[in-house]
C-alpha cells in the first residue's frame, strides 16, 4: 500500500510564501504522477497543480498560475509546491495525491488512488 505524507503547512500573512512537501512510501517514486488538491472551509476539494512522473510536464489551476510552482526531486523522493504571493482565498487544507503513471485529467479527484491526510495552509489578511 502506498502511503502519502504532506508537510509544510503554516499560518502566513497575505503576500507571503510557503513551500509544501509530499513524499510517498514507495521505492518506485518516479513511477507516480503527483498532484496537489485543496479544500477550503465549506468548499469542495479542487485541483491545484499536477506533475508527471518524470517532472517534465506540469499543469496549474487558473487561480494559482503565476504564483505557485510544482516540482519534484526523484532522487529525494519528494514533490514540492512553492506558493508565493499568497492570498486569503488560498486558505485551505492541501492534499497530495498520487497515481501510477498517467497524467490525463490530472486535476480531477477521481483519477488518484492514493491520498495524504493533508496539511493546513492559513493566509491572514
pLDDT, tens only, 7-16: 999 999 999 9
Say how far apart CA 28 and CA 123 lie, in whole Å. Answer: 34
Least confident of 23-27, 65-69, 80-84: 23-27
Compute the distance between CA of residue 25 and CA of residue 41 in angstroms, rounded to an integer.
29
Q: Does residue 94 surpass a pLDDT of 90?
A: yes
Q: What is the pLDDT of residues 18-27, one digit of tens each?
A: 999 999 998 8
Among residues 116, 87, 115, 86, the alpha carbon closest in space to that of 7 is found at: 116
Helix (H, G, I), strand (E, B) or coil at 8: coil
Amino acid at each position: 500500500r502506498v502511503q502519502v505524507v504532506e508537510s509544510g503547512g503554516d499560518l502566513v500573512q497575505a503576500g507571503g510564501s510557503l513551500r509544501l512537501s509530499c513524499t510517498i512510501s514507495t521505492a518506485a517514486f518516479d513511477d507516480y504522477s503527483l498532484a496537489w488538491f485543496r479544500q477550503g472551509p465549506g468548499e469542495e476539494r479542487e485541483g491545484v497543480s499536477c506533475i508527471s512522473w518524470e517532472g517534465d510536464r506540469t499543469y496549474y489551476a487558473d487561480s494559482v498560475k503565476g504564483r505557485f510552482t510544482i516540482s519534484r526531486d526523484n532522487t529525494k523522493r519528494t514533490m514540492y509546491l512553492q506558493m508565493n504571493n499568497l492570498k486569503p482565498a488560498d486558505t485551505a487544507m492541501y492534499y497530495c495525491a498520487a497515481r501510477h503513471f498517467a497524467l490525463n485529467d490530472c486535476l480531477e479527484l477521481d483519477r488518484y488512488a492514493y491520498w495524504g491526510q493533508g496539511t493546513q495552509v492559513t493566509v491572514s489578511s
